[in-house]
Amino acid sequence: MGDELRDLLHSPNQGHEKAEPARSRWTPKPEQILILESIFNSGMVNPPKDETVRIRKLLEKFGSVGDANVFYWFQNRRSRSRRRQRQIQASLNGGEPPQTSGGAVHSYGYSGVSSFMPSHSLFLPPSGSSSSSCGSVGHHDGVDGMFSFSGHMSIPEREQAPHVNSILCSSDGSILCSPSDSVLQYQSVAAVIMLLIYLCISFKLQTPPAWKMASKDWKSSWEQGPILGNFQ
Amino acid sequence: MGDELRDLLHSPNQGHEKAEPARSRWTPKPEQILILESIFNSGMVNPPKDETVRIRKLLEKFGSVGDANVFYWFQNRRSRSRRRQRQIQASLNGGEPPQTSGGAVHSYGYSGVSSFMPSHSLFLPPSGSSSSSCGSVGHHDGVDGMFSFSGHMSIPEREQAPHVNSILCSSDGSILCSPSDSVLQYQSVAAVIMLLIYLCISFKLQTPPAWKMASKDWKSSWEQGPILGNFQ
DNA sequence: CTTCTATGAATGAACG
DNA sequence: CGTTCATTCATAGAAG
């Protein structure tokens, strides 16, 4: 039966265009991934329900998505981020350290500090105010040269803070981020871009967010975790 | 009760199974799912300990399982059932209409599955005597009883069997967007942008610490899963 | 086409 | 009970 449904959804309209959903699993668009990634990196690794809804609304500007998708995304992100972290730790530790010695464990502490970003939803206005007009739907093209970056980022993988501050917090660098983390700055780039986008949108500029990006390369290079650990 | 629970959770049971290499976690067999689902749908959503034991014994005819597994199963079942229901209601009432913007949405299973289940219940015999046989799925082995289908009881909520599809039914998916690839190149314009953003942010975000912590109320945020007619 | 891999979705097992 | 973590299943998309 599920097959029937699937068939129904599949067999027809498979000709052209794009608006027609080929029902299967959600496939986040690059822009959406950027947003999600940014939010995650901003410290909100586990958005509460209301935030999730808002995030979804934001994401919907770039393609259909549901709350569940957002929820799952964060769940998986947290989970995989953590797991990887652990693996790295483990391998770093050596071949096999079955030690139970004093090494207290767990608490994969995200000791990082948040960036200058208020670690909370800066994408999402406080309330369902007028800011993000969800009505805007369906224009994915337009500004074609808003940002142009070249090269690609190759971020190893490190569970650390994005450090947007590395650039922003010039003066005294009160926050963390060592100068050698230059690579990490690329992560910030994306976050910042999203911020810009958000601003454009929320300020009603309604600027059709349209950039382009290599959905291929960047993806692989974006493997890192949250920062967080903040708040209390 | 606490003792009972303790006992349940303490159950070892993880014997050997036919060609089953000791999994880390219990993976209910299709037949088992059917049984559980039936019991649940029959109205027994929260079986007391003694019932749990009986259920477990029944299930063991199809594979090793412990009381704890059964206990957890029902607990999760109740929980997820409820959540789903709330979500549906939420999206119907409060929420905003489904954004059908470009296509529908997400998945999160249970779309049109439901399966062949007798929408009713096949029960546990009054006493822990005869068991039953599920004619549908091939299994052998001496089950000396038969499921008794009985139509009655109240179905706790309005939904269908989810688990069954994992094996018996195919899953269903969601819709999603169309392909739109773009190319973005990264470069060092980042600094400029960041600066810009930073300025904007500085003004805009003087927001108070909102999201306090881990989601305390994610309540329900599943998406509407229009099983059908979900085109725009 | 088949195989592999990243990741969306599901769910068993807890935790508070 | 609601929420969260860990593991597993399933599959879209890339690689061969």
Q: What was the pLDDT predicted at A193?
A: 57
Residues contacting B173, CB < 8 A, separation 6+: A6, A23, A24, A25, B107, B111
3-state secondary structure chain A: CHHHHHHHHHCCCCCCCCCCCCCECCCCCHHHHHHHHHHHHCCCCCCCHHHHHHHHHHHCCCCCCCHHHHHHHHHHHHHHHHHHHHHHHHHHHCCCCCCCCCCCCCCCCCCCCCCCCCCCCCCCCCCCCCCCCCCCCCCCCCCCCCCCECCCCCCCCCCCCCCCHHHHCCCCCCCCCCHHHHHHHHHHHHHHHHHHHHHHHHCCCCCCCCCCCECCHHHHHCCCCCCCCCCC
pLDDT at residue A58 greater than cutoff 50: yes
Of A126, A192, A218, the CB nearest to B210: A126
Best mutation target among A14, A17, A23, A73 (most B Cβ atoms within 10 Å) is: A23
CB A61 within 8 A of CB A124: no
Nearest CA in chain A to B200: A199
Instruction: Return the number of other C-beta atoms located less than 10 Å from residue B136's C-beta.
Output: 16
pLDDT at residue A25 greater than cutoff 80: yes
CA angle centred on B19, ends B13 and B23, rounded to 5°: 50
Q: What was the pLDDT predicted at A124?
A: 53
Protein residue with the closest CA to the C1' atom of nucleotide D9: B166
- Where do the DSSP E strands lie in chain B? 121-123, 148-150
- pLDDT above 90 covers what percent of chain B? 24
Average pLDDT, chain A: 55
pLDDT at residue A203 greater than cutoff 70: no
Q: For residue range A206-228, what is the model confidence (pLDDT) as tens digits?
A: 333 333 333 334 444 444 444 43
pLDDT at residue B64 greater than cutoff 70: yes
Averaging pLDDT over each range in A211-215, B95-99, B144-148, B214-218, which range is the top one? B95-99
Q: For residue range A124-142, what is the model confidence (pLDDT) as tens digits?
A: 555 444 433 433 333 433 3
Q: For residue range B162-184, what is the model confidence (pLDDT) as tens digits?
A: 333 333 333 333 322 333 333 33
Q: How many helices (H) and strands (E) are present in chain B, helices listed first?
A: 5, 2
Query: Per the structure block, which two tokens stand in for B169?
Result: 């039914």
Best mutation target among A16, A26, A129, A212 (most B Cβ atoms within 10 Å) is: A26
| Mean pLDDT, rounded, for B26-31 | 91
| Mean pLDDT, rounded, for B79-91 | 86
**When comparing pLDDT for A180 and A38, which is higher?**
A38
CB A70 within 8 A of CB A52: yes
